[in-house]
Structure 1
């Protein structure tokens, strides 16, 4: 089973892109997730790259902003490619199929938190090849 559930804050505004040809929406952002235990009194965090597809990608880009709290559910996915200098680059990220808006930005502050779900878990490893082909 490959299932991940995270709660954290966005490190910057989400980046919404549309794939050439298909026009499929893809949003990428990084979630800062606090670790459970503190080391020598200082809080530590992991910075986890998140990728969201289709309608949920558009909703995430519209309603999430830097510093806002969000809940993410999805799967861990790895991919790799050969860089221009010849070395292999490995990428691990979470492909989210659910996004919970736990804090609203100024755009929708008066509304209650909502959950966005994505039914189409598109596997984009076939779409992305060389570093220049990466849509984000």
Structure 2
């Protein structure tokens, strides 16, 4: 079986990094990925894909990427579920990233901090 995803898009917001109880870094990012065809109105639609990034890659992504950064993500598609506070089962489909490639130049605010 093959479960491999490759996406190139722009971050919709700054990466959100947190740490698990074991101390493992994990970052959540959302990529805006344009479709390669136009809809019936002649417009190009965009998909917003949630991605989870772990460990060193999560730290690097949080340190060097900002909203609007162009990144390439490769990983796998994963579906999970949980029960929310109301007791309703919630299903989540996301990309779990194996690697993140930074494809745009370093954001200005990061350059000014150095």
TM-score relative to the length of structure 2: 0.90
* RCO higher in structure (CA 8 A, sep ≥6): 2
How far residue 86 of structure 1 moved from its aligned partner, in angstroms, is 1.7
Consecutive unaligned residues of structure 2, counting only runs of 5 or more, are none
Corresponding residue SS for 2:37: coil
Which residue in the other structure is 1:10 paired with?
A: 11
Which runs of at least 4 in structure 1 moved beyond 4 Å after TM superposition?
none
CA-CA distance at 1:41 after TM superposition: 2.2
Q: What is the total number of aligned residue pairs between the two structures?
A: 108
2:71 is aligned with 1:80: no
Give the Cα separation in 2 of the matches to 1:82 and 1:26. 21
For residues 18-97 of structure 1, the aligned pairs below 5 Å read 18-20=19-21, 22-39=22-39, 40-97=41-98
Aligned Cα RMSD in Å?
Answer: 1.3
Gaps of 5+ in 1: 109-136
